[in-house]
Amino acid sequence: MEDGDTRARILEAASQVFCEKGFKKTTVREICMKAKANVAAVNYHFGDKKKLYRAVLTKWVDDGSREVFTRISEALTAVTSAKETLRIYITAQLRFLCLFERKSRQEFNRTRLLLRECLADDSDPTIFDSHMKMELRLLTPVIREIVGSDMPEHRMESVTIGATGILTHYFVMAAHDPSKGITSQEELDSLTEFLTTFIYGGLCAVRETVHA
């Protein structure tokens, strides 16, 4: 039990410090002071600073994926159309780019660090496993409903990439430039409306092309 508590304390402390300072400016000693642990404990539970960082990133992705899934699942009880489901998904994702609340600022910092890791030459793709599973479970059925259930599987992959590509673009911009964060509820609503219209329209056009 004590080992588990120590590991959890280190992970929580590392999560806070990495979020504030990023990987390069964070020291293991600083994490240990915050976690009331020693360097040997970090090496024992995680191996080194880089592995601890990746464990933190994985935790952020897992927590974020659960949060998105919960938000969407709760909202879907009152939704009947694929377009509204798409809107809910887009809103839930864009919230990680928000800056107008203290919690959202922390999520924004985490999102930027995750994106930098995703774009790094030595990125570990397994960090994002839970997000990919969440997207597959929630978004793919919606896209298939819009474009038609008879869409060949090999084309569905391309359609999904196309549908999420513009959303991904906003996240990549935010990774490079903090000013690209969403600064108000009104801005969030406006961007959600634009992306929903754009993506839904594109999916409908694909459907028409396939059935032409």
The two structure tokens encoding residue 36: 């009331």
Q: Which residues pair with 98 in a beta bridge?
A: 182
Q: What is the pLDDT of residue 137?
A: 86
**pLDDT tens for each residue of 3-15:** 669 999 999 999 9
DSSP letters along 114-181, please?
A: HHHHHHSTT--GGGGHHHHHHHHHHHHHHHHHHH-TTS-HHHHHHHHHHHHHHHHHHHHHHHH-GGGS
Between 78 and 84, residue with greater pLDDT:
84
**pLDDT tens for each residue of 132-171:** 999 888 888 899 999 998 888 888 888 998 999 999 999 9
Going from the C-alpha of 5 to that of each of 10, 12, 93, 119, the distances in angstroms are 9, 11, 31, 32
Residue 173: partners with Cβ closer than 8 Å, 6 or more residues away: 180
The answer to whether 112 and 99 are in contact (CB under 8 A) is: no
d(CA 20, CA 32): 15
Q: Which residues pair with 182 in a beta bridge?
A: 98
- Rounded average pLDDT over 68-82: 82
The answer to whether 18 and 116 are in contact (CB under 8 A) is: no
Average pLDDT of the residues of the chain: 90
Q: Which domains does the chain have, with CATH numbers?
A: 1-47 (1.10.10.60), 57-210 (1.10.357)
Q: What is the pLDDT of residue 1?
A: 39
Question: How much is the pTM?
Answer: 0.87
**Percent of the chain predicted with pLDDT > 90:** 64
The answer to whether 180 and 174 are in contact (CB under 8 A) is: yes
